[in-house]
Amino acid sequence: MYKRALYAQLAQYYDKIYWSKDYNQEVGFLAKLFQRNEVTGRQLLEVGCGTGNHTKLFVARGYRVTALDLSEDVLRIAERKVRRGATFVQGDMRDLDSAVEGKFDAVVCLFSTISYNLTRSDLKKTIRGLYEHVKDDGIVAFDTHFTKRGFLDGYRGEDIFDDGKVIVARLSTSKRVGDVGEISFTYLIKDGRKVITLRNDVHRLGLFVPEVFLQVMHEVGFKSTEAYSDWTFRRGSNTAAFKDTVFVGRRRA
């Protein structure tokens, strides 16, 4: 299986690369969403937990989290970060049943993890798994900033992170190949005396229009669905580049 360097040999730098991501805002939004939908139970399934940044904040709010990821490398970091209140499991979001048992009060899949489904059929397998692991009155939420209309073909960008100890420089380029968005990252990292160069870590992302996510949610059984724009309760999908759409489903209307 192809291993994306960001979640394998560069996993220890993941939190530095995404230092500016506002995990607090996202968890705050989701907690409010659960409250508004009268989800009072605290058993949460998190799919694609990465290095455990949402996990840690959910646990701090009193949730008991089962957190799954495909990559052993990010899971090791998450386990060190969240010592209590979470169970970490390795597994593939397209085959949740092999890794996770039972039903949860809420199920989340965050930071565009859902977009690693390249085909409608894989997307459906994943969304069906999310549906099957939520209780009848529970909530499923997933977000993405990669949509068919919003993906920036030909984007070129650079980011730099420097905390005085580690410097991470990252170049990104993107191109659209049919219904797949390809983002290629090149890294130059100076960590103390160590220098790491990593070229062309390619991430392939499925590009769907927002209506497809909603259609698939209905096909697997969700009775009510909603799309919210960019971690606010403003309804509607946000297809502007770098903005997120949060898709929400309930098993019962």
Ligand X SMILES: C[S@@+](CC[C@H](N)C(=O)[O-])C[C@H]1O[C@@H](n2cnc3c(N)ncnc32)[C@H](O)[C@@H]1O
Q: How far is CA 155 from CA 58, 115, 152, in A?
A: 34, 18, 6
Tokens 């694609």 belong to: 48
Q: Which residues contact 24 (CB under 8 A, 6 or more apart)?
A: 57
Task: Kindly state the smallest distance separating residue 141's Cβ from ligand X, in Å.
Answer: 12
Q: Which residues bind ligand X (CB under 6 A)?
A: 7, 48-50, 53-54, 69-71, 74, 92-94, 110-113, 116
Residue 175, helix vs strand vs coil: strand
Alpha-carbon distance 12 to 75, whole Å?
Answer: 11
Taking residue 40's Cβ as centre, other Cβ atoms within 10 Å add up to: 9
Nearer to ligand X, 39 or 183 (CB): 183
Task: Kindly state the smallest distance separating residue 121's Cβ from ligand X, in Å.
Answer: 14
Nearer to ligand X, 137 or 161 (CB): 161
Q: Where are the alpha helices (DSSP H) in 107-148?
A: 120-132
Task: Kindly state the smallest distance separating residue 54's Cβ from ligand X, in Å.
Answer: 6
Nearest to 76 by CA among 152, 144, 9: 9
Q: Which residues contact 55 (CB under 8 A, 6 or more apart)?
A: 46, 49, 65, 67, 78, 81, 82, 86
Task: Kindly state the smallest distance separating residue 249's Cβ from ligand X, in Å.
Answer: 18
Amino acid at 130: L
Task: Kindly state the smallest distance separating residue 172's Cβ from ligand X, in Å.
Answer: 13
Do residues 197 and 188 make contact, with C-beta atoms less than 8 angstroms apart?
A: yes
Nearer to ligand X, 121 or 224 (CB): 121
Residue 171, helix vs strand vs coil: strand
Nearer to ligand X, 190 or 204 (CB): 204
Nearer to ligand X, 69 or 226 (CB): 69
Task: Kindly state the smallest distance separating residue 107's Cβ from ligand X, in Å.
Answer: 13
Nearer to ligand X, 61 or 190 (CB): 61
Nearer to ligand X, 183 or 189 (CB): 183
H and E: helices and strands count for the chain:
6, 11
Measured from each CB, the residue nearest to ligand X is 50
Task: Kindly state the smallest distance separating residue 39's Cβ from ligand X, in Å.
Answer: 20
